[in-house]
Structure 1
Amino acid sequence: MNIDHKVAQLLVSRVCHDLAGGVSALSTGAELLSEDKQMADGAALDVIAMSAAQCASRLAFFRVAFGLGGGESDTITTDDLKKLLVDYLQGGRIAVNWTAENARIGLMSGKLLLGLCLIGAEALPRGGDLRIDVSEIGGRLGFAVFAQGTGAVLRPELKTALSVDVAPDLLTARTVHGHFTVILAQSLDAEMEILADVPDEIRLAALL
């Protein structure tokens, strides 16, 4: 799988953007401790613990979704993918409903599923439900992601990014994951479909 140099840079920017809030909160907690030692057992430690957990979960998610996460193995379990997603969304307004039974799938296929989930999650600006199903369809691996919630929508700039041929200059750190996902689908010879014809619902599917 080959990607444009700018796409790689934007993926790094996306990761940094998602980590910025947690790192800033860690810094704030440390400052509170340095200013008031009596807070060591209170609010400052709570802020530090929560922010550290958020940073760790987001790093773990992006390591697999965009990087070479998974170690030397070329497979990953769907339970592992579920945990990555649940931890990544922890504390937000999106509930994860993962209906798939645990199975071991190819690591690159797992990356594709996480990409679809990220697109689905970002289609829920007011929160909602994210339902994920993994199944075998005619001997092929199938993914289905349903994003359901008030105002569920694919932003126009993200729609633009959901193309293999989009010009890198039209991508941003907020949309590059969509482009990366369709490139990954192409590299896996996967059939990918995104539907937004039902109010308050976005449906994403891939057949490998």
Structure 2
Amino acid sequence: MTTIALEALDLAALLCSRVCHDVISPVGAIVNGLEVLDEEKDPEMRTFALDLIKKSATMASAKLQFCRLAFGAAGSAGASIDTGDAETVTRGLFGDDKIKLDWRAPRILMPKNKVKLILNLCLIAAGTIPRGGTMTVDVEGQGDEAAVRIVAKGNYARVPAGIGALLAGAPEHGTIDAHAIQPFFTGLVAREVGMVATVRSEPEGIVIEGRPVVVETALHQDADAAQPDDGQQDAAQPDAAQPDAADVAMGLADQMRAAAADDLAPASRVAAA
């Protein structure tokens, strides 16, 4: 795979397109509700319009707050973010009944880019359960060895095509568009904080992880060490069964008796003649 590097302007433009795509739907619904209020006199329709405006405004606000932490600066360089704030914006984004969020990560201060990684992994996890389900978010370990683990379960859960290549920074077709920029950006953030982001299907569900590179390398080394090489496999094979000494002696005795019988046979025939 060939890793591609986006120009800063292209990256910014694609991220802006992604944010606009997420926000335009609720904003458009607000505009529609206002038009209904302006034109309709029926109390029932006006009540419906007000309810639409309220729900859409809440949704737009939740998406903007989430995007501010997931994509924006959210503080000065090197700033830390409370994971409780990350939980709040995530619950706001998935506040409907479609996805049930089980947030198990402890409330601690983490570097802002690691919090960005958690939020972006949550977006990827939501994409693996398009018909809804449950999403469990956990942070294992502490400090530089802290790892993010998200398990998504739901009907028709699946790993999106090409997601692994995008996380690795090497899209299959060699190009990035507004639909692919989010997982690509997730991979950039992961590498920035010395982590590797992965998505895989397991019996427990779709597992989305962000693990430190050192830990990831150690896991691969342990797996390789668990597999013996060819020399070890040959040494592990039991030697061929060795014949018992008593059996050898009995075999030699039989051969000697047979040879003696052959030597005596001609003399016996001569005597008989």
Structure 2 counterpart of 1:63, which letter?
Answer: R
Q: Could you give the per-residue CA deviations for residues 147-174 of structure 1, whole angstroms, max 9, x where no partner exists?
A: 1111111221434422223389632222
Uncovered stretches (5+) of structure 2, i.e. residues with no partner: 213-273
Residue 213 (structure 2) pairs with residue 198 (structure 1):
no
1:133 paired with 2:135, answer no
Query: For structure 1, which segment, 135-144 or 109-118, has the greater mean C-alpha deviation from structure 2 after superposition?
Result: 135-144
After the TM superposition, which segments of 4 or more aligned residues of structure 1 sit over 3 Å from their partners? 37-41, 70-73, 157-160, 165-169
CA change 1:139–1:67 in 2 (3 A) is: closer
8 Å contact from structure 2 (residues 59, 93) kept in 1: yes
Structure 1: tracts of 5 or more residues without a match = none
Q: Could you say what secondary structure the match of 1:10 adopts?
A: helix
Count of matched residue pairs: 206
Structure with the higher helix share, 1 or 2? 2
Deviation at 1:36, TM superposition (A): 2.0
Identity %: 29
**Any idea what the Cα deviations from partners look like across 1:106-155, whole Å, max 9, x if unmatched?**
11110011011110011111111010001315861111111111111122
What is the aligned counterpart of 1:103 among 108, 111, 135?
108
Which of structures 1 and 2 has the larger relative contact order (alpha carbons within 8 angstroms, sep 6+)?
Answer: 1
Aligned alpha-carbon RMSD (Å): 2.4
The answer as to whether partners of 2:162 and 2:171 remain within 8 angstroms in 1 is no
Larger Rg: 2
Shift in alpha-carbon separation, 1:138–1:114, aligned structure 2, 3 A:
closer
TM normalised by structure 1 equals: 0.89
Aligned to 2:58: 53
> Equivalents in 2 of 1:101, 1:19: separation in Å?
29
Structure with higher strand content? 1
Query: Which residue in 2 is equivalent to 1:172?
Result: 177
| Aligned 8 A contact 1:132 1:144 in 2 | yes
Instruction: Kindly indicate whether residue 89 of structure 2 is the aligned counterpart of residue 75 of structure 1.
Output: no
Is this contact kept in 2: 1:96–1:129, CA < 8 A?
Answer: yes
Contact residue 6 and residue 168 of structure 1 kept, 8 A: no
